[in-house]
A and B are shown apart, each in its own frame.
Chain A
Amino acid sequence: MIPRPHGGRLVNRVLTGKRREALLREAEELPSIEISYERLIDLMDIAHGAFSPLEGFMVQEDYLHVLYDMRLSNDLPWTIPVVLDVDPEEISGVKEGDDLALKYNGEIVAVMRIEEIYGWDKKEYARQVYKTTDKNHPGVAKTYNRKELLVGGEIDLLREPSHPLENRILWPIETRVLFREKKWRTIVAFQTRNVPHRGHEYVQKAALTFTDGLLIHPLIGWKKPGDYRDEVIFAAYEALIKYYYPKDVVVLAGLLMNMNYAGPREAIHHAIVRKNFGATHFIVGRDHAGVGDYYGPYEAWEIFDEFPDLGITPLFIREAFYCKKCGGMVNEKICPHSEEYRVKISGTKIRRMIREGKIPPEYMMRPEVARVILSFKDPFVH
């Protein structure tokens, strides 16, 4: 059965029709601030219910609960603060209780009712969320670059800037309707920001053995240099699905959401978001949402012990490798053979081969997938 959204109700703060027209007119007279692309993505995730039960950017009480307890003030699990940062001079003359227009590229995209304006300690944020204050961590670096104050309050989305991949993006209400149409009762979601190799395929198919459907859910949004470009990831998955998956058991849909690289906390966040999209199960990878050596390989699994009330079932499937003795993809739980027979599927190695224009060996990546990736002039983010 498709789970109820986190908190019980799917948030919808996308205004349409006459209400939208009226608020757009009113918004022209309001004080306004310009928001970044990343905050625009947060805004859309809130408005479309991907971040249910959030109705806006967090007020201080929720922010502090999330920071220290990994729960909202109403005790619901929530691990990554969703906050809007502003410079004091941007909001001089604006006070709590006022409405504020949010602009992106000079155009009004939303209106926010300011509930609270408060300060924050970015170093403490980094320490709690990322477990490090090291500026080399991409999430920490981004945090330190944010503005000095936070503004909390409910939002209404009025305009959505077009996105080059908008026809690849589905929102929670759409996946929920889609799963019902397909009569799927159990859906496993797979988070990715990579092109698929044989290890990914193994993990997805292992999970799909026990569920009605698989949601392959690539993250569209800010990525770090060296990551695969979004359109490359989609094309690679389309090839994999076309040649290696049964018909009608897979949905490939983009998720417009920021990547924080917050490791274990982000694994919980990813699971909650997938619950809002209607998934019943969520595959949690080894070092899920990690970067460098900041998190232990299984920390993102262990943290789930603290959230028995999450409302989505995590699936911890061990990393797959090719075993020459078994003659196929296996993992350490089901393969009795020693290291000398095991060939690890290294994303770094595959990336290097792709950069050199080479097709990786078939035990690492399906040739149809590799060919599609190589057909792009430059598959990587710079």
Chain B
Amino acid sequence: MGEEKVELKITIPKSLYDKIKEEADNAGFTDIEEFIRFVLEQLVESGETGEELSPEDEEKVKERLRALGYID
């Protein structure tokens, strides 16, 4: 038996819908619902921070924070 499902009705702008549909078609998803579910799962589960920060850049940030006394 599969996991319990809930039905969610959302309203989005037509322009966004068109873009999502195009992306879904290009990526080979069978329908837009499958694509949206995939994207949401990725977003929630990946723990993505939305920050593009290389380890070197992160170290530079920490150096500045140390220099300013924010971290030890």
Which residues does A use to contact B, with CB under 8 Å?
2, 4-5, 8-10, 12, 73-75, 167, 170, 173-174, 176-178, 181-182, 251
Known: A75-B12, A75-B13, A181-B71. Contact between A176 and B62, CB under 8 A?
Answer: no
Cβ of B1 within 8 Å of any chain A Cβ, yes or no, is no
Q: Once the chains bind, are A8 and B61 in contact (CB under 8 Å)?
A: no
B55 to chain A, nearest CB (A): 12
Q: Once the chains bind, are B13 and A4 in contact (CB under 8 Å)?
A: no
**Once bound together, how far apart are the Cα atoms of A4 and B49, in whole Å?**
5
Q: Once the chains bind, are B68 and A167 in contact (CB under 8 Å)?
A: yes
Q: Once the chains bind, are B12 and A10 in contact (CB under 8 Å)?
A: no
**Once bound together, how far apart are the Cα atoms of A176 and B48, in whole Å?**
13
Q: Once the chains bind, are A173 and B51 in contact (CB under 8 Å)?
A: yes
B contact residues around A8 at 8 Å (CB)? 43, 50
A378 to chain B, nearest CB (A): 27
B32 to chain A, nearest CB (A): 17
B contact residues around A173 at 8 Å (CB)? 51, 53, 61
Out of B43, B53, B65, name the residue touching A181 (CB < 8 Å): B65
**Total B residues in contact with A, Cβ cutoff 8 Å:** 19
B contact residues around A176 at 8 Å (CB)? 49, 51
Q: Once the chains bind, are B52 and A9 in contact (CB under 8 Å)?
A: yes
B69 to chain A, nearest CB (A): 10
What are the nearest 9 A-B pairs in CB distance?
A4-B50, A10-B51, A177-B61, A5-B50, A9-B50, A75-B13, A181-B71, A8-B50, A10-B50
**Once bound together, how far apart are the Cα atoms of A74 and B14, in whole Å?**
10
**Once bound together, how far apart are the Cα atoms of A208 and B71, in whole Å?**
20
B contact residues around A74 at 8 Å (CB)? 13, 15-16
**Once bound together, how far apart are the Cα atoms of A307 and B39, in whole Å?**
23
Q: Once the chains bind, are A174 and B64 in contact (CB under 8 Å)?
A: yes
B52 nearest in chain A by CB position: A12
**Once bound together, how far apart are the Cα atoms of A9 and B51, in whole Å?**
6
B66 nearest in chain A by CB position: A181
Known: A74-B16, A178-B71. Contact between A10 and B65, CB under 8 A?
Answer: no
A contact residues around B12 at 8 Å (CB)? 75
Which residues does B use to contact A, with CB under 8 Å?
12-13, 15-16, 43, 48-53, 58, 61-62, 64-65, 68, 70-71
**Once bound together, how far apart are the Cα atoms of A177 and B59, in whole Å?**
10
B contact residues around A182 at 8 Å (CB)? 71
A contact residues around B53 at 8 Å (CB)? 173, 177
B47 nearest in chain A by CB position: A1
B45 to chain A, nearest CB (A): 13
**Once bound together, how far apart are the Cα atoms of A167 and B70, in whole Å?**
11
A358 to chain B, nearest CB (A): 33
Known: A4-B50, A5-B51, A9-B52. Contact between A177 and B65, CB under 8 A?
Answer: yes
Q: Pick the most buried of A2, A12, A173: most chain B CB atoms within 10 A of its CB.
A: A173
- Can you spell out 9 A-B residue pairs with CB atoms less than 8 angstroms apart? A4-B50, A10-B51, A10-B52, A12-B52, A73-B15, A173-B53, A176-B49, A178-B71, A251-B70
Q: Once the chains bind, are B70 and A178 in contact (CB under 8 Å)?
A: yes
Known: A9-B52, A10-B52. Contact between A177 and B58, CB under 8 A?
Answer: yes
A contact residues around B48 at 8 Å (CB)? 4
**Once bound together, how far apart are the Cα atoms of A8 and B68, in whole Å?**
29
A contact residues around B71 at 8 Å (CB)? 178, 181-182
**Once bound together, how far apart are the Cα atoms of A182 and B71, in whole Å?**
8
